[in-house]
Amino acid sequence: MRLCVAIPCFFKGKDVDFCDAIRRVAALGYDAVETYHWKSLDLSAVRKTLEETGVELLSICTTEFKLTEPEFRSAFVEGVRESCEAARILGVKRMITQVGKDTGMPREEQHASIVAGLSAAAPILEAAGVTLMIEPLNTYVNHPGYYLWSSAEAFDIIKEVNHPNVKVIYDIYHQQVMEGNIIPTVLANLEHIAHLHGAGHPGRHELQYGENDYRVILGAIDKAGYTGAMGLEYSPLLEPMESLRLAKEIYG
Handedness of CA 7, 11, 15, 17 (dihedral sign): negative
Identify whether the C-beta of residue 244 lies closer than 8 Å to the C-beta of residue 33: no
AA identity, residue 6: A
| DSSP symbols for 166-189 | EEEEEEHHHHHHHT--HHHHHHHT
Q: What is the CATH number of the domain that holds 234?
A: 3.20.20.150
Output the pLDDT for position 14. 64
Identify whether the C-beta of residue 207 lies closer than 8 Å to the C-beta of residue 200: yes
What is d(CA 54, CA 56) in angstroms, rounded to the nearest whole number? 7
Output the pLDDT for position 100. 98
Output the pLDDT for position 15. 76
Identify whether the C-beta of residue 2 lies closer than 8 Å to the C-beta of residue 232: no
Other C-beta atoms closer than 10 Å to the C-beta of 215 total: 13
3-class SS of residue 224: coil
Q: What is the DSSP letter of 93?
A: -
Q: For residue 165, give its domain range.
A: 2-251
Give bridge partners of residue 6 from the DSSP assignment. Answer: 34
The set of long-range contacts for 241-246, using a CB threshold of 8 Å and a minimum separation of 24, is 241/24, 241/28, 243/10, 243/206, 244/5, 244/10, 244/25, 244/28, 244/30, 245/28, 246/206, 246/208
What is d(CA 101, CA 110) in angstroms, rounded to the nearest whole number? 10
Closest C-alpha to 41, from 13, 65, 62: 13
Whole-Å CA distances, 240 to 12, 15, 18:
11, 12, 14
Tally the domains of the chain.
1
pLDDT in tens, the chain (252 residues): 999 999 999 998 667 899 999 999 999 999 999 999 999 999 999 999 999 999 999 999 999 999 999 999 999 999 999 999 999 999 999 999 999 999 999 999 999 999 999 999 999 999 999 999 999 999 999 999 999 999 999 999 999 999 999 999 999 999 999 999 999 999 999 999 999 999 999 999 999 999 999 999 999 999 999 999 999 999 999 999 999 999 999 998
Whole-Å CA distances, 129 to 48, 132, 155:
21, 10, 21
